[in-house]
Every structure is written in structure tokens, then in C-alpha cells.
Amino acid sequence: MRDIPKLSNEWKLTKSERYDLYIECAKILDKEGDSGAFPLYYHALKLFDEDQNLRSQYKKNKMESYQSEAEKLVINAIKSPEIVNFEEVIALEAIQDLKKTSKLIFDFVDLFLLKEMAQFKTDIKSFQKLMDDHVVTMEMAIQKKQYIQICSLDLAQKQIYTFKECASLLDIPLEDVEEWFIDAVTNNIIDARMNQMKEEIIIKTHKIRNMSNKEWAQIKGSIT
């Protein structure tokens, strides 16, 4: 099912048929909690950028569904551990259309991009209903925020971080740093090695985040 976008190119489907196919497959994976839902939602909504007539058609005849699926793309970007750059999502026209109708979604994203870890844990409690509605667990949200934090580090300036520095940055107990490191490497968030003797983590690379906090603040400012 994850290969549907590639396979469907050989099936001579119309863009409307491809959109419906991607969305139906995404919903199945989403219901199962499979992160493969994200690329399917993304490929579906990207079709609207390629075909303005298709976008106008859905906005006119299926507005409720159009909005719901755009919201699900944003939520799945948050639920998918490997997605740390929201720029490709926010840039889609279908997501831009949410500015007036789903401000709460943008406020939610705002937490991940602008708040420090400790403040994030406090402020996210006010979004509990939104999280419950979209099956975003607190553990899932905190992990995503931690990944964004680590991927915001300027490795050109510094690559070696002590366990204490990591614990402070991620707002976790010192004894949990090693386990967190293993999970982050497993999820391909960082390419790094650990020196247990010196209690250091040497980060070679991390997933690239192209959107700065300033750029996100400008986008969010246009919503209010």
C-alpha cells in the first residue's frame, strides 16, 4: 500500500481517481497507526498544487472532506517520527487554505516549532482534546518535539554534547539519555555515536530542518 503513488502512475488514472485512491489508502493506514499514512496524504494533497481545476472542484463540492484531509496531513506530519521539517507540508495550497478554518491546528504546530521543551510540556495540555480527536498520544508529541529540538542544533558550531546537556535540551532524566539516543538513531533522526566512558554523544548529522523559527512565526502571523 505504501507503493501506491509509484504503482498508480502505471494505471492511467485521472488525477481525481489518484487522489481518491491515495486518500482511501491513507485512511486505512492512519486507522492502524501506520506512519505510511503521511506520504499518501501528502501525495494526494500535492495533486491540488499541480491541478488548480481539481482543487477548485473539491473545494466547491467536497469542502468538508477537503478540509478534513488537509488537517489529517498536518496531524500525520506530527505523528510520523521521521518528519521534522514542516515546510513541505505548510507550503501546500490545501494546507494554506486551513489558515482561516483550522487555526487550532496551526497553534498546535506552533508549540513544536517555537516553544522550549519544558514550556512545551506545560502548554500542550491545553490541546488534549485535539490530540484525543486525532489519536496523538502525549508520548508521541513529546518524542516529536524532542526530535525537532535535536535537529535544530547547529552542528557546524558544535557536535559533541554531554549527557547532561542532552538531558537538559530534551528535558529528560539523565539516566534516560542512552535509551533516547538509541531510539533516535533507530528512527534515523541522527547519525551519531555514544562515548559511555566520557558520557558524551557525538552527532555527525541529523535530519535537516529547512524552516527557521522566524519563518514559521511569519507564516503563523498571517493567520491571525
pLDDT digits (tens, 9 = 90+) for 28-50: 998 888 888 999 999 999 998 88
What span, in angstroms and rounded, lies between the C-alpha atoms of 92 and 90?
Answer: 6
Residue indicated by cell numbers 491515495:
22
Residue-level pLDDT at 221: 52
Lowest-pLDDT choice from 52-56, 171-175, 186-190, 191-195: 52-56
Of 67, 72, 130, residue with least CA distance to 93:
67
Is it true that domain 153-206 has CATH number 1.10.10.10? yes
Q: What are the residue boundaries of the structural domains of the chain, listed by start? A: 4-141+209-221, 153-206
Cell numbers describing residue 151: 535537529
Residue-level pLDDT at 210: 55
Of 45, 114, 33, residue with least CA distance to 74:
45
3-state SS assignment for residue 73: helix
